[in-house]
Amino acid sequence: MLRLGSKVIFINDSLELSLPLGDYGYVIAYDRNADNVFDYVVRVPKMNKHFYVPATDIEMEEVLLQEEADRIEREALIDFALATRNEELFRRIMNGEETDAVPEANKEVQSREDFIRQINLKAWI
């Protein structure tokens, strides 16, 4: 649930309400009526209007900026991998593998007594 005053951007117009796609607005109210399809009331200062919108039609500005930054970073890494002919990096980026992933095989298996001792120590503290 978005907080009141959150800056949001219209990303979809699923109910064909003539929403200003790509424009920003601010969440000014929640619509808590269970019988209603709308979740928020959003004020668009550019148009000087209020719109009732479902949650699927809007997205926080910070989330969209982060997604765009991730996309640009991925494209830059692909370009770098192609320019340097680094096949391993290219395959890792294209397959979506994490570079900082820790393999599960390196974890030590604790004995039952060590586990109980550790739990009792934490419970004592």
Provide the residue-wise pLDDT of the chain in tens; the chain has 125 residues.
788 888 999 998 888 888 889 899 999 988 778 788 888 899 999 999 999 998 888 989 889 899 999 999 999 988 888 888 888 888 888 887 665 544 454 456 778 888 777 777 766 65
CATH number, domain at 16?
2.30.30.40
| Residue 99 falls inside a structural domain | no
The reported pLDDT for the residue numbered 93 is 86
- Is residue 31, in this structure, part of any structural domain at all? yes
Residue 44: give the domain boundaries.
7-59
* Number of domains present in the structure of the chain: 1
* Residue 54 counted as domain residue: yes
Task: Examine residue 43 and state whether it is found in any structural domain, yes or no.
Answer: yes
Residue 44 lies in a domain: yes
Q: Is residue 85 part of a domain?
A: no
pLDDT value, residue 42: 93
Report the 10 Å Cβ neighbour count for 8. Answer: 23
Give the whole-angstrom CA distance, residue 64 versus residue 48: 24
Measured between alpha carbons, how far is 93 from 99 in angstroms, rounded to an integer? 9
